[in-house]
Structure 1
Amino acid sequence: MTGTTNDSTVLKAIADLAPMWMPGCVVDTAERTVEVGWGRGSLQMSAVVGLGEIIERCRQLPQQLWAEQIEAWLRAVVAEGELATEEHRFGDVAVRQRAMLLQRGWSARTSGPVADALIPFGDHFEVVVFVGTGADFRRLTVVRRSMLGLGDPDVPSPVQLTLEHISDLRPVEHDGFSVLARDDDPLVSMAIVDREKLLPQASIGLGVLVGVPRLSTVAFCAADAGQQAADRLAQYVADTYRDAPDQCSPDLYWLQGDRMVQVPVTLAKPPAVMLPAALLPSPRRTWVRHLWQQLFRR
């Protein structure tokens, strides 16, 4: 069956089933949209939502599972509309957007019937968009982002808003490596994204070894700092990740400019980092790193 036929079959299923579950909703098969409504009493609202996401989801499933998937998605869209209405009560939603750096696949593992608004970030992480609502951060979905008009060109970028929020972070020296942290602030992980300002060593020489054990903590050292420094960093990342309420990643990475690769760490106690050959100490490399450290201290 071709992709075009598949789309048509899914669209027909949505058009047939949606009014049974949600009387009053309108499916436009030509525009591939559905209009859904929500509200209480005299306060009634509606939104037109694209069907691309649910069509793609159904194409990945056997046809006998489509009905359940379509119903769950439609009900989730209505719930998103109710959330969008509520979020306006807390002020301008656009300026309350924030982004968090999370392990790759976090959204796929934890999201519901409606996809999260996110930006892939390399092979190991993803940037997921949230909205600050009261004291909480509520994950923003693609559907609600559209309902709230947050995709318009003049709306502030959630990434930029977040980087401004953490721009005052300063590294603290800890047992031969550096730590960026702020209690109960899950936006600190985005320091990896703003590495030019918050991790400038990442673009110098061989870069840095870095770990993001918690959303509120980033730890790093010079990539060529040597085996002992790397092992201490790995131990800190493992200890900090363990039982943390805001776990991010237990792994260690080599960050050099825009290149990030995972560095193997043994499960021994204490853990040992298996440094790539390029990071093993040499007299010349040690001298160059010492020179850069002196320049940064000025």
Structure 2
Amino acid sequence: MTGTNDSTVVEMIAELAPIWLPGCVVDAEQRTVEVGWGRGALQMSAVVGVGEIVDRCLQLPQQRWPEQIEAWLRAVVAEGELATQEHRFGDVAERQRALLVQRGWSARTAGPVADALLPFGDHFEVVVFIRTGSELRRLTVVRRSMLGLGDPDVPSPVRLTLEEIADLEPQQHNGISVLSRDDDPLVSMAIVDRDNLLPQASLGAGVLIGVPRLSTVAYCPADAGQAHADSLARWVADSYRGAPDQCSPDLYWLQGDQMVQVPVTLATPPTAVLPAALKPQPRRTWLRHLFGR
């Protein structure tokens, strides 16, 4: 926005934050805000950087900044209260888990505080959660800092997750291989551990793969032909439709570290639009080559 910069937003935070949250302290030079929470004699506080809300405000008209700042500040306090509760369930660092979801899922569904996530190619992202009992709670950037989970010696949520799905074995369904476990959203992370769980992805042409559900990954050889590709497209579409843990209805060509989307028609039944490199090439005799037949 013309005429505005980071310092303008920080000045507004410093002016308004103590009104909404009495007792909070804004350090404009360090670009931080200290917020408190608790009940009775049990009072806690945390110092949080304001970079996230500054960036968000700079993308909006200035008249919308106050509502954004208030929502973010109140969400930060709620994150602090949640961080306090999570310690009651044991070592938070060891309870981290990661889910592979469609790219943009976090932006579409997140609240005022951004999720802790890792980009994963052009089509997916890895979002970090905390397992609390039977519940997976989304970990935010703010709460990760409050819990000290960004420190170098803290276990990786990706490693913890891959250890939990290392025993998955593919099941065969009419030429389609399926990695699946009921009610286990961690299965989608099999794509991240493709060297161990999807070794076929690094052989020859690789695999055509779908992640219709967080609990299901399906694939077949990429060069298996149109019929197999269409069967996979139908299987993925059927598995995705109405699933409580939907991930992606699309197909992808995974070869080593490269993943590209394979279009699927909206016809009934759907069919895969294979790239030329995966279509069978007819063998031509010398006579056909010479005479163009």
Output the TM-score relative to the length of structure 2: 0.95
User: What is the CA–CA distance in structure 1 between the aligned matches of 2:282 and 2:168, rounded to whole Å?
Assistant: 33
State how far apart, in whole Å, the 2-side matches of 1:175 and 1:43 are.
60
Matched letter for residue 13 of structure 2: I
Deviation for aligned residue 1:271: 1.2
User: Separation in 2 of the partners of 1:213 and 1:272?
Assistant: 15
User: Letter of the aligned partner of 1:118 in structure 2?
Assistant: L
* 2:156 aligned partner: 157
> d(CA) in 1 for partners of 2:268 and 2:18?
60
Question: Take 2:117 and 2:282, find their aligned partners in 1: how far apart are those partners?
Answer: 44
Cα distance in structure 1, aligned partners of 2:183 and 2:257: 28
Which whole-Å CA distance do the structure 2 matches of 1:274 and 1:7 have between them? 47
Question: 2: distance between equivalents of 1:107 and 1:121?
Answer: 13
Show the counterpart of 1:104.
103
Correspondence 1:50-199 to 2 at 5 A: 50-199=49-198
Give the Cα–Cα distance (whole angstroms) in 2 for the partners of residues 72 and 278 of structure 1: 50
Shift of 1:282: 4.0
Matched, 1:44 2:33: no
Quote the residue 1:228 is aligned against.
Answer: 227
In structure 2, the partner of 1:296 is none
Q: Distance in 2 between matches of 1:283 and 1:130?
A: 49
Taking the aligned partners of 2:80 and 2:272, their CA distance within structure 1 comes to 48
What CA distance in whole angstroms lies between the structure 2 residues aligned with 1:44 and 1:59?
33
- In the other structure, the counterpart of 1:290 is none
Report the AA paired with residue 78 of structure 2: A
* SS of residue matched to 1:24: coil
Three-state SS of the structure 2 residue aligned to 1:48 is strand
Q: Aligned to 1:187, what secondary structure does the other structure show?
A: helix
Question: Shift of residue 276 of structure 1?
Answer: 0.7
Offset of residue 283 of structure 1: 7.1
What are the Cα deviations for residues 64-86 of structure 1, in whole angstroms up to 9, with x where unaligned?
00000000000000000000000
Q: Residues 118-151 of structure 1: CA distance to partner in whole angstroms, max 9, x if unpaired?
A: 0011111000000001101000000000000000
Percent identical = 80
Q: Which residue in the other structure is 1:265 paired with?
A: 264
* Partner SS for 2:163: helix
User: Which one is further off, 117-126 or 264-273?
Assistant: 264-273
Aligned to 2:287: none
Q: Secondary structure at the match of 1:151?
A: coil
Structure 1's unaligned 5+ residue stretches are 285-298
SS in 2 for 1:10: helix
Take 2:43 and 2:282, find their aligned partners in 1: how far apart are those partners? 72
CA distance in 1, matches of 2:227, 2:53: 51
- Count of aligned positions: 283
Equivalent residue for 1:25?
24
Residues in 1 aligned to 2:120 and 2:282: alpha-carbon distance in whole angstroms: 35
Distance 2:29 2:266 in 1: 56
Equivalent residue letter for 1:141? T
User: How many angstroms apart in 2 are the aligned matches of 1:258 and 1:170?
Assistant: 22
Amino acid at match of 1:104: R
Q: What code does the residue aligned with 1:142 have?
A: V
Q: 1:248-276, CA deviations, whole angstroms, 9 ceiling, x for partnerless residues?
A: 00000000111111101111121111111
Pairing of 1:271-290 with structure 2 (within 5 A): 271-282=270-281
Partners of 1:265 and 1:65 lie apart in 2 by 41
With normalisation by structure 1, the TM-score equals 0.93
Q: What secondary structure, in the 3-state scheme, does the structure 1 residue paired with 2:166 have?
A: coil
Post-superposition Cα deviations, 1:40-59, rounded to whole Å, max 9, x if no partner, equal 11110000000100110011
- The SS at the match of 1:99 is strand
Q: Aligned equivalents of 2:32 and 2:238: distance in 1?
A: 49
Q: Which residues of 2 match residues 247-266 of structure 1 at below 5 A?
A: 247-266=246-265
SS at match of 2:5: helix
1:244 aligns with 2:248: no
| Aligned partner letter, 2:56 | R
Deviation of 1:204 after TM superposition, in Å, equals: 1.0
CA RMSD of aligned residues (A): 1.2
